[in-house]
Amino acid sequence: MSMQSAQSAQGYVTADGRKIGGPVMEMENITLRFGGVTAIQDISFDILEGEIRAIIGPNGAGKSSMLNVINGFYHPQEGRILYHGEERKPLKPYQIAYQGIARTFQNIALFKGMTTLDNIMTGRLTHMKTNLLSQALWWGRAEKEEVENREIVEKIIDFLEIQTIRKTPVGRLPYGLQKRVELGRALAAEPSLLLLDEPMAGMNVEEKEDMSRFILDVNDEFGTTIALIEHDMGVVMDIADRVVVMDYGKKIGDGTPAEVRSNQAVIDAYLGVSHD
């Protein structure tokens, strides 16, 4: 179910033959301050439909702040955010989900007391329309809706190969699996933009490879546009189509992994050349 808009001038075709469409999100001159501290300074970039876009940078570069701006947790003081070509007004955090933006968190934010199945079901919330009264009485559409959404969730569970932990409270799962459940919950929303905050953080090599494979598969099978933040350059360079590099709240590089790798400013930032 890949969906590309052919009319876009900005689209391109990747090395492995995937067609990338027009912009899903455009950040224009974003500046974000916390009191006197400038977390993000005049940054512009776009995220195109169907691509895997990475934001990387050393610790404290402002990557998570950027993700929180995209996600609407933070409202930038300056700049415009265009979502599907339209300027986005400041929304409440919970309304972002209804715009089709789903995310995962750096320090896993799952509902620990709930089962894998229930966790992923909460991801379907934005697609469930029945009112409180019919739910309370388990009446009419509520039951049908529950069953339909359950089927979609089962597909995601199969896709992520977590069938065996379906009924396990997620608090008891090992770290790598929790990350996978969190990805499942975000996928359940069928997002038009999926945000991943350090999806590989704290994982061993094997878990990182698994997660990379799932991210690529999600993008390939569902055509989901993905923006991810990573701290570790290695993995990102393998899976991302284009990379934004941030350092001290500024953008210091933007382009394909190969371009970014050969960018002197990026190399300096990662090798820790002093800022003067």
- Under the rule (CB under 8 A), what is the footprint of other proteins? 71, 73, 92-98, 102-103, 105, 109-114, 118, 121-126, 128, 130, 132, 135-136, 138, 142, 145-146, 185, 189
Question: Looking at beta carbons only, is 8 or 134 nearer to other proteins?
Answer: 134
Other Cβ atoms less than 10 A from the Cβ of 270: the count is 15
Cβ contacts of 114 within 8 Å, gap of 6 or more: 122, 169, 170
Distance of CA 77 to the CA centre of its chain: 23
Pairing mode, if any, of strands 242-247 and 52-56? parallel
Cα distances from 236 to residues 53, 62, 208, 229, 244, in angstroms, run 9, 17, 11, 9, 11
Q: Which is nearer to other proteins, 192 or 269 (CB)?
A: 192
Nearest approach, Cβ of 267 to other proteins (angstroms)? 35
Q: Which is nearer to other proteins, 1 or 136 (CB)?
A: 136
To other proteins, the closest distance from the beta carbon of 131 in angstroms equals 9
d(CA 193, CA 56): 18
Nearer to other proteins among residue 20 and residue 102 (C-beta): 102
Instruction: In angstroms, give the least distance from the CB of 126 to other proteins.
Output: 4
- Cβ contact 194:102 at 8 Å: yes
Which of these, 106, 36, 123, lies nearest to 66 by C-alpha position? 106
Q: Helix H segments across the chain? A: 63-70, 93-98, 116-122, 132-136, 141-159, 175-188, 205-222, 233-239, 257-261, 264-271
CB of 100 vs other proteins, minimal distance in Å = 10
Least distance between other proteins and beta carbon 70 (Å): 12
Instruction: Compute the least distance from the CB of residue 42 to other proteins, in Å.
Output: 27
User: For other proteins, which is the closer residue by CB, 146 or 268?
Assistant: 146
Pick the closer one to other proteins by CB: 114 or 237. Answer: 114
